[in-house]
Amino acid sequence: MFTFIVTCYNQADVILYALESIRYQIESFGRDQKFQLIVTDDASTDGSQEVIRQWMSVNKGLFAKTGKIFREKNLGICQNYVDALKHVAGKRFAVLNGDDLLAPDNMFEITDRLKDYDIVCTAFIKFTGSGEMIHSHNTYMEVVLQDIIARTCLHRAIKLGCPIMGTAVLYRKSLLTKEVYDFILRYRTVNDRACLQKILAENEDIRVCYVNRPIVLYRISEHSISNFHSPTRLLHNREIAKLCRAAKAGESSFLFRRMLSWQEKSAYVRTSSNYFVRLLRFLSPYYFIMLWLYVRNYGEIKRMERQLVEPNWVNCREHYKKIRTNVKKYLNRTSRSLPIS
């Protein structure tokens, strides 16, 4: 059984895109497999739960097992994330944010790599609310850097916040211990990063690979963490500072403890309303490491950016249009009316 997890909070206008992209994967590539769907909603106030409930009812034939975790009180993405993980019945699973989509490629070919690796890091393509894929190569430097980091300095880099993108990371289910769950629940927004940091702390010999193909289409919006002015982003930076403190508490190297302290201060700097104060973040260990990796591996990074973007951005744009059409057809069939983003 393969498990899909979808996390939602006030995403009634876009959650159908995520769900329809799951249906696309199952119908296109999931022959002879069984599937579980778990959808969590963190006390949405915009009708998201009813949208989810009706879609799951109409499409229940796709899944051998389903689960809905609908909260009456908002507790944050970390609680949603852990509760969903605890209900995973399959050996393999993927987590999708409610405003994102699964990409058009066969994701099961990528998840099959978990037979040989403990963690599979994959790429993603960013898109705007209008469905336009962002295909500027430089946008994806941090994405392709996952490959270099995974091969060279994974354990140190993740503590400093270097990019191992939780948006598109796949894990072996056996790595998700009670200790990992408890660590994630110490936070509110950094579920992916906390999960990865704790897993790496407990598994020195972990096997990690990077696949330079998009598994997720990542929506950029005013509420997304990638938007610097989002209130969620401000909370997220404070949470990153807490992660640095947690890493520092278990660190034996004096030099690296000092680096973590420096990085913690940098995370707080990013929350400043003053533009010039925020510029100080470029003096952090994170950016020095990123700059060093970029200069040292410039040719490889540029090649991987081209390999990621050029073959995929047009296909992803057409895929988004197809999912949009499917959402409209679904709404027409069920006589529902929702804003289409």
Indicate the pairing of strand 101-102 with strand 208-219.
antiparallel
Looking at the whole model, is its pTM more than 0.85?
yes
Asked whether the CA dihedral 281, 285, 238, 75 is positive or negative, the reply is positive
Element at 304 (helix H, strand E): helix 298-309
| Mean pLDDT across 289-294 | 91
Q: What is the pLDDT of residue 227?
A: 55
Read off the pLDDT band of 299 (50, 70, 90). very high
| Mean pLDDT across 80-95 | 94
Q: What is the pLDDT of residue 230?
A: 61
- What's the CA gap between 277 and 279, in Å, rounded? 5
| Mean pLDDT across 182-210 | 92
Query: What are the DSSP calls for 25-75, one per residue?
Result: HHHHH-TT--EEEEEEE---SSSHHHHHHHHHHHTGGG-SEEEEEE-SS--
Residue 340 has pLDDT above 50, yes or no: no
Report all structural domains of the chain as residue ranges with CATH numbers, in order of start: 1-102 (3.90.550.10), 110-312 (no CATH)
Share of the chain above pLDDT 70, in %: 94
- What's the CA gap between 100 and 103, in Å, rounded? 9
C-alpha separations of 307 from 22, 208, 220, 319 in Å: 25, 20, 22, 19
| Mean pLDDT across 179-203 | 93
- Identify whether the C-beta of residue 8 lies closer than 8 Å to the C-beta of residue 93: no
Q: Which amino acid is at 284?
A: S
